[in-house]
Chains A and B, each alone.
Chain A
Amino acid sequence: MWGYKIITTNQIDYDKNNRAIRNKILALEPSLRICIACGACTATCTAGNLTPFNIRRMNVLLQRGEYDDLKSELGKCMLCGKCTLVCPRGVNLRNLILKTRETLLNDECHVL
């Protein structure tokens, strides 16, 4: 009305972010810790080639406690498992996505 608005921060606020969900998901699929962000998963991902879905980026955000995008994005995965096949670190990405979906649902995030 007066020509200005309040914008939210673009920073990852590491002190403010609640990493309880991340810790829960890491306990269910600990292999996420060994990701080196090479992007092979995203390169091979069918959903990622057609939509802005980016599994590597999602996993980084998850580890930082940034869940907002995650809730809307994870539904795009078709669970084909190609990401798991190409991962040079042997991260079980397919299970990670399943466990993340479950965890977010159980925490009453009814977005998926």
Chain B
Amino acid sequence: MQTKTIAIIGAGPAGMEASASLAKLGHQVVLIEKKASTGGHLNNWHHLFPDRRPAKELLQKLKQEVNHSNIEVMVNTAVHEVKQNDYRYELVLSEKNVINANAVLITTGFELFDAAKKEEYGYGIYNQVITNSDLEQLFQADNLAAQFKKPVKRVAFVHCVGSRDAKVNNHYCSKVCCVTAVKQSIEFKERMPETEVFCFYMDMRMFGPYYEELYREAQEKWGIVFIRGKISEASQTRDGSLQIKAEDTLASKPLRMNTDLLVLMAGMVPAEGNEHISRQFKLAIGDNRFFKSKDNHFDNQLSDTPGVFLAGACLAPMNITDTISQARAAALRIHEYLTN
């Protein structure tokens, strides 16, 4: 079999797993990453839902997998221009490196929604307001309580920040924030058992195995309080504390509450570079601004452009389990494409 080269754009979990699968099938892979290191968002997460597995464990495994003689990893490398010659793609990379690929896999992933855009929650305005990603960083420290300037007697999590929100043009559900909030609220309570923990949700979407059980554990074992209502605003009171407002919709009454910490569950948005990639490869973009598959049942990993494949959160918000499944599915579709 003549060796074929596959260019994979984006070295997060999807790109890394697909690289490993293709390398095992005997293909040559060039894994291109614009940032300085591989691993994507896994680098910023402490533990993963629902089993609270350390993110480092997955990172290590993925790094071992891509450490393969068939895989060339290029970090700090962006794709500037793409030319198509028959069934080959010529990719012009940073520093005018050129690679010729027989197939291309796009695994450019997602970015976290910029929580400062929801100005009513005061991210970047009030010190007591942080994001899910900020909290993961704080969880890395041995002593969580020592990370805050003032004692945190109460914390409130806000679901759906930048998701299911027409006002920021993100109509879709980011899927993983509900279970992340449940996970983080438990982790908070474990570290600071005296702190009161609240989750403000619109709908609890516990779609995966053991997610619902984690939700129950949060109520039963940790006493976390779930209030059904979207927080409309956070504002500072005269004494400098933070006040939030929501409707407790199940009680049919507006509610106000002072809190020492507000955690915004920022959702997923398409990666900034996706527009450029879509123009270069003539890829269709969906109404949700993520890439669009050729067929969302049978050809989910195919794009409308022959030889260009898609996997992971560049297609839609998704958890790591689904991302890895898609990466493996993409590897198989690419193998079929190159061997036929």
Q: A43-B245, A56-B249 are in contact. Are A36 and B203 (CB under 8 A)?
A: yes
Closest to A82 in B: B232
Q: Which residues of B contact A37 (CB under 8 A)?
A: 249
Contact assessment for B255 and A43 in the assembled complex, using a CB-CB cutoff below 8 Å:
yes
Q: Which residues of B contact A39 (CB under 8 A)?
A: 228-230, 246-249, 254
Q: Mark A22-62, 1 if CB is under 8 A from B, else 0.
A: 00000000000000111111111100110000101100000
Stretch at the interface among B55-63, B162-170, B280-288, B310-318: B162-170
A45 to B253 CA separation, bound complex (whole angstroms): 11
Say which residue of B165, B233, B254 sits within 8 Å of A48 (CB atoms).
B254
User: Is A90 part of the binding interface, using a Cβ–Cβ cutoff of 8 Å?
Assistant: yes
> In the complex, how many residue pairs between chain A and chain B have their CB atoms under 8 Å apart?
68
Contact assessment for B229 and A43 in the assembled complex, using a CB-CB cutoff below 8 Å:
yes
Closest to A37 in B: B249
CB distance from A58 to the nearest CB of B (A): 10
Q: A49-B254, A57-B252, A90-B166 are in contact. Are A38 and B233 (CB under 8 A)?
A: no
Q: Which of B207-248 contact A (CB under 8 A)?
A: 228-233, 245-248
Contact assessment for A88 and B167 in the assembled complex, using a CB-CB cutoff below 8 Å:
yes
The contact size tier of chain A is 20 to 34
A56 to B246 CA separation, bound complex (whole angstroms): 12
Closest to A89 in B: B166
Interface residues of B (CB under 8 A from A): 120, 160, 164-167, 202-203, 228-233, 245-249, 252-255
Interface residues of A (CB under 8 A from B): 36-45, 48-49, 54, 56-57, 86-90
Top 9 nearest A-B pairs (CB, nearest first) are A39-B247, A90-B166, A38-B230, A43-B232, A42-B247, A39-B249, A44-B232, A40-B230, A39-B229
